[in-house]
Amino acid sequence: MVKLSVIVPFYNVQSYAPDTLRSLAANARDDMEFLFVDDCSRDETPHILERARQDLPGVRVLRHEKNGGLATARNTGLDAASGEYVTFLDGDDWLAPGYYTDLLAAIESLNCDFVRTDHVQCTARARAVHRVPHGRRGVVLNPRDLILPATRSTSVDYAYAWAGIYHRRLLDDGVLHFKDGLRTAEDRPWIWRLHREAKSMAVVGLLGVYYRRGVASSLTQIGDVRQLDFIRAFDQVIEETSKDPNAEHLLPKAVRTYCAIISHHLGTMERFEPRVARALKSMSAAAMKRMPQSVLEDALNSMDLQRASRLRRLRRRPVTAEVAA
């Protein structure tokens, strides 16, 4: 029986994939499967994965005929997963040796739906530990209790799918799939659904994922139109949270986070192509008009003057019917 399914999307990461694969080999066990999703790479990545399939036990290479993005690639892996537990890794990141054995031991000892972990962020030679924004470790918790408060960073703001491990029952219940086609912010609606619908979770102080920042091909480094998918992602968060029985209490957090992300992008406009910058303004203004207006007003009142002023100006911006839809 497969104990752990590891889902790893790859797209044009020939420079980094060998490190990723070596770290997976240092974590491999007979009861693990590795689902490598080649998202229509155009470099040497497919050949690297083919060699890994021959050298690393438990590897299956799944190939896309058309590039679909990270969310779609992860869904391909989820559809093929057979393990009792599921975890993720990105094709340009890597792991400490033996990390997955420790991760499995943590979730089995806690006997909960999912476990979240800290990680190491790597930018060139710099290393920084990033922790789940919740202090209690090694204790089973109700995931809903970690969504609030609205004015502070919480577990739903730590939206890294690879920073954890998830019981198969979440997959079978339809909780683990991502919104197909999202090119950025795909983890945001995913983490919100996880916290709303799972029954139990825990946070553990286990370091083992090394997250590579500053990769030139990463969407976080590219100011093109794909960056605007954060609007689709947060629209999904608002829509799904609005249907929750506890929507009155949860929506202020969702709306405030959405506004904070819009403000962040507006504050870094210089990295966007001119036409994308114009689209960002018009689409963000339309998004603010779609939000529950009383909740939005409370969110703006809770923000610092600079962000609130920037967002209020945007809120007054006229939008066309086509953009507002």
Q: What is the pLDDT of residue 319?
A: 79
The domain locations on the chain are 4-215, 223-324
Contacts of residue 314, defined as CB under 8 A and 6 or more positions apart, other chains included, come to 262, 266, 281, 284, 285, 288
pLDDT value of residue 182 = 92
Report pLDDT for 322: 58
Nearest Cα neighbor of 150 from 300, 45, 312 is: 300
Reported as a single tens digit per residue, the pLDDT across 285-319 is 999 999 999 999 999 999 999 999 999 999 999 87
What's the confidence (pLDDT) of residue 214? 78
Confidence at residue 223, expressed as pLDDT on a 0 to 100 scale: 61
Low-confidence ranges of the chain (pLDDT < 50): 221
Place of tokens 């990723």: 20
For residue 325, the model assigns a pLDDT of: 58
Concatenating the DSSP letter of every residue in 212-247 gives EE--TTSGGG--SGGGGHHHHHHHHHHHHHHTSTTH
Q: Which two tokens stand for residue 263?
A: 């403000």
Q: What is the value of pTM for the model shown?
A: 0.94
**CATH domain 4-215 topology:** Spore Coat Polysaccharide Biosynthesis Protein SpsA; Chain A (3.90.550)
Residues 6+ away with beta carbon under 8 Å from 118: 129, 130, 131, 132, 163, 205, 206, 207
